[in-house]
């Protein structure tokens, strides 16, 4: 499988784009005409620059408004084509993309278009060039790949072929199975793009909202399976018009792009739908829970944190044999507190301050999980081991933090016994009934949301839920969840659009994205609330107005509402069950704990978010957020 990306997909000048594209591991690049025109070097120099990066120019694009023109426009379009052919030869590419005519002057007529393409094919053949025809979803007469294919078929010229673009086919809901009957040698290249489902004008949707395969909602895999069935084994090329990507980091977007193609290729390989030459990698890792979450803190802050964990019912159960690392446990939850000034934890502390910078996932096979992650371009994380330590496979995750993989088939299953000495210094501590981690919430800039959704869903056997808007009094935070069928993995990803929201403040003040809250599960929220209160743990105070509204909204028994209110418990319900939530105040720049009880409920209490955010904001330091 050969991968390519159009220069229009990422930000920067042509040089920056090529660097990022080459670094991400692409084999080829589509040169978008405007990127060339805005650049100061000659076509020959641009071609050389591409080849110096080890890349091939997969095509030059776009050539617009060609077929079906009346004279004298027709002659002029042919002259224009000859000029582009000159440029392509200097640049060193043999393929041009001609997109279907949108001009009001275009006459239409399949045979007229076919005749134009035959003539263009004759001219291209003289120079050893090829022409690929693409049906734009908003083309004036041709807006369906089946019609474009009919024109190519009737042109019947070896230098004229078809270009299929998943967006144009899928946005119009054209049956992808119509691709299966196209001969593979007539498909000159495949362009791929996904998009979120939004009901809007096709052109506007395409030019602003396309995203990488797997990041949107279109059935790109069905499209690709149909392509693979033809026997096509050429380039898969991303053509992504997205305002956010054009303003983002060229390197990050290029890495996402290549990851999206590799992941798509892997799905096609598993579907055994064709003859694409595809790299093999282990299957997506099945996650069986969060093994631990690790905090980095400095020595001075440890007693505050361990007191807080103690009040939450966590017992200090282990101390690392060689490092200043402690484990606190309750139920299945392991919280690791790392005060080691050396190593990555120390470096992370220096950069971000106190934070939950790492987490470990229980997977079926940690070696397979790391192999897949690395095959998909994740950055492997390794640090030197002390004698007696076991290597725990890991990659860099959100905000430069660490994502570890553990399994029960290797020594990793006994990590706590092998690397830690038992500690028994909180004999009189009272647990509060926390059983496990319900979800981990990671906060990031909105622009990073798609990156991490793709990262998690490509590596882990999990799916993403639809986007939900979380209303912060200072703006909107967009939230999407990565979760698996068993519910053993739930990561909420919150994308902040501005720094005045609680989420935006968190990333601005901690210098990066990361875990902003941990939600622990309990089977009995009222018992947990009572135990917390006995431990002297102050929960976040919720406005009494919330409870009046809640009672009316759900028709709750007033006595029940009073119990919720007495413990500052938030309540929600969906078709599947009930949800109870209570919160800690915020610590530092906005980190907090949540405790939830869910009985079948599938959401995360989005309707309650505005109330708890308002309450959390009141607890931030006075210098924190602007007054509203």
Q: How would you label 218-252 residue by residue, b for 16+ Cβ within 10 Å and e otherwise?
A: bebbbbbbbbbbbebbbbbbbbbbbebbbebbbbb
CA-based max dimension of the chain: 93
Q: Is 439 annotated as a binding residue?
A: yes
Is 239 annotated to bind a ligand? Reply is yes
Asked if 358 and 305 count as a contact pair (C-beta separation under 8 A), the reply is no
Residue among 168 and 372 whose Cβ is closer to Mg ion: 168
Is 576 annotated to bind ligand? no
Judged by beta carbon, residue 381 or residue 593, the one nearer Mg ion is 593
Q: Name the one residue in this structure whose structure tokens are 């309540």.
A: 571
DSSP E strand boundaries for 265-332: 287-296, 315-320, 325-330
Shortest distance in whole angstroms from residue 517 CB to Mg ion: 6
Would you list the DSSP string of 203-249? HHHHHHH-B-TTTSSS-HHHHHHHHHHTT--SEEEE---BHHHHTS-
- Kindly state the smallest distance separating residue 253's Cβ from Mg ion, in Å: 18
Closer residue to Mg ion (CB): 339 or 608? 608
- Phi-psi region for residue 276, left (φ > 0), alpha (ψ -120 to 50) or beta? beta
What's the min distance (Å) between Cβ of 422 and Mg ion?
32
Identify the helix (H) or strand (E) that includes residue 552. Answer: helix 544-554
Report the candidate in 136, 137, 96 with the shortest Cα–Cα distance to residue 117. Answer: 96
Query: How many whole angstroms separate alpha carbon 379 and alpha carbon 370?
Result: 10
**Measured between alpha carbons, how far is 568 from 577 in angstroms, rounded to an integer?**
20
Q: Cβ-closest residue to Mg ion?
A: 165
Distance of closest approach, residue 163 Cβ to Mg ion, in angstroms: 7
Cα separation, 6 vs 480, in Å, equals 28
Q: How far is the CB of 519 from Mg ion (least distance, A)?
A: 5
Smallest distance, Mg ion to C-beta of residue 509, A: 20
562 is in an annotated binding site: no
Is 382 marked as binding a ligand?
A: no
**CB 6 → Mg ion: shortest distance, Å?**
8
Of 515 and 519, the one with the shorter C-beta distance to Mg ion is 519
CA atoms within 13 A on the CB side of 294: 22
| Cα 441 to Cα 9, 91, 499, distances in angstroms | 29, 48, 17
Closer Cβ to Mg ion, 114 or 519, answer by number: 519
CB of 169 to Mg ion, least distance (A): 10
The residue among 101 and 191 lying less far from Mg ion, judged by its C-beta, is 191
Determine whether 450 is exposed, middle or buried from the number of CB atoms within 10 Å of its CB (0-12, 13-18, 19+).
buried
List interacting residues with Mg ion (CB under 5 A): 165, 191, 239, 519, 594
| Separation of first and last alpha carbons in the chain | 54
Q: Residue 35, annotated ligand binder?
A: no
Beta carbon of residue 514, minimum distance to Mg ion (angstroms, whole number): 15
Q: Is 150 annotated as a binding residue?
A: no
The closest alpha carbon to 3, from 238, 173, 179, 207, belongs to: 238
Q: Which residues are annotated as a binding site for Mg(2+)?
A: 439, 517, 594
Q: Which residues belong to the annotated binding site for a divalent metal cation?
A: 134, 165, 191, 239
Which residues carry a binding-site annotation?
A: 134, 165, 191, 239, 439, 517, 594
């Amino acid at each position: 499988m050969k991968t390519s990306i159009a220069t229009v997909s990422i930000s920067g000048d042509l040089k920056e784009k090529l660097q990022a594209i080459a670094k991400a591991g692409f084999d080829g690049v589509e040169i978008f005409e405007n990127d060339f025109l805005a650049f100061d070097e000659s076509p020959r120099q641009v071609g050389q620059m591409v080849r110096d990066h080890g890349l091939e120019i997969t095509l030059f694009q776009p050539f617009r408004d060609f077929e079906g023109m009346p004279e004298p426009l027709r002659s002029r379009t042919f002259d224009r084509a000859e000029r582009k052919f000159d440029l392509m030869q200097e640049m060193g590419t043999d393929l041009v993309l001609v997109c279907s005519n949108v001009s009001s002057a275009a006459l239409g007529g399949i045979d007229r278009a076919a005749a134009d393409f035959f003539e263009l094919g004759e001219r291209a053949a003289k120079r050893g060039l090829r022409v690929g025809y693409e049906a734009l979803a908003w083309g004036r007469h041709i807006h369906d790949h089946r019609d474009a294919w009919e024109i190519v078929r009737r042109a019947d010229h070896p230098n004229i072929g078809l270009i299929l673009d998943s967006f144009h086919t899928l946005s119009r809901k054209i049956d992808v199975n119509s691709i299966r009957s196209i001969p593979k040698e007539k498909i000159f290249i495949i362009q791929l793009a996904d998009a979120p489902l939004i009901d809007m004008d096709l052109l506007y949707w395409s030019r602003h909202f396309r995203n990488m395969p797997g990041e949107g909602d279109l059935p790109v895999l069905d499209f690709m399976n149909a392509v693979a069935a033809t026997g096509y084994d050429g380039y898969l090329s991303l053509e992504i018009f997205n305002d956010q990507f054009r303003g983002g980091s060229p390197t990050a977007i290029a890495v996402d792009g290549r990851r999206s193609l590799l992941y798509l290729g892997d799905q096609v390989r598993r579907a055994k739908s064709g003859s694409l030459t595809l790299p093999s990698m282990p299957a997506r890792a099945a996650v069986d829970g969060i093994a631990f979450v690790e905090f980095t803190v400095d020595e001075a802050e440890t007693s505050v944190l361990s007191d807080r964990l103690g009040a939450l019912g966590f017992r200090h159960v282990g101390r690392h044999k060689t490092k200043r690392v402690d484990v606190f446990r309750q139920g299945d939850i392991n919280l690791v507190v790392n005060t080691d000034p050396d190593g990555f934890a120390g470096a992370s502390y220096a950069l971000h301050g106190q934070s939950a910078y790492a987490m470990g996932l229980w997977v079926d096979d940690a070696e397979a999980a790391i192999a897949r992650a690395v095959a998909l371009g994740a950055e492997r994380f390794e640090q030197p081991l002390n004698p007696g330590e076991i290597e725990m496979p890991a990659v860099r995750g959100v905000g430069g933090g660490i994502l570890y993989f553990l399994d029960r088939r290797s020594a990793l299953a006994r990590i706590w016994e092998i690397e830690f000495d038992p500690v028994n210094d909180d004999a009189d501590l009272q647990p509060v009934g926390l059983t496990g981690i319900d979800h981990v919430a990671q906060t990031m800039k909105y622009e990073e949301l798609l990156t991490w959704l793709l990262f998690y869903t490509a590596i882990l056997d999990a799916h993403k839920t639809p986007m939900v808007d979380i209303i912060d009094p200072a703006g909107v935070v967009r939230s999407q969840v990565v979760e698996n069928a068993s519910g053993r993995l739930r990561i909420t990803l919150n994308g902040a659009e501005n720094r005045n929201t609680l989420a935006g403040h968190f990333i601005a003040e901690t210098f990066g994205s990361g875990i902003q809250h941990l939600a622990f599960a309990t089977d009995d929220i009222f018992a947990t609330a009572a135990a917390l209160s006995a431990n002297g743990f102050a929960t976040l105070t919720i406005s009494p107005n919330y409870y009046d509204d809640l009672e009316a909204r759900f028709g709750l028994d007033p006595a029940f509402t009073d119990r919720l209110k007495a413990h500052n418990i938030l309540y929600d319900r969906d078709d599947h069950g009930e949800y109870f939530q209570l919160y800690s105040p915020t610590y530092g720049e906005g980190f907090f704990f949540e405790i939830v009880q869910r009985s079948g409920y599938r959401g995360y209490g989005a309707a309650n978010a505005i109330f708890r955010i308002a309450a959390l904001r009141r607890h931030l330091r006075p210098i924190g957020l602007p007054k509203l």
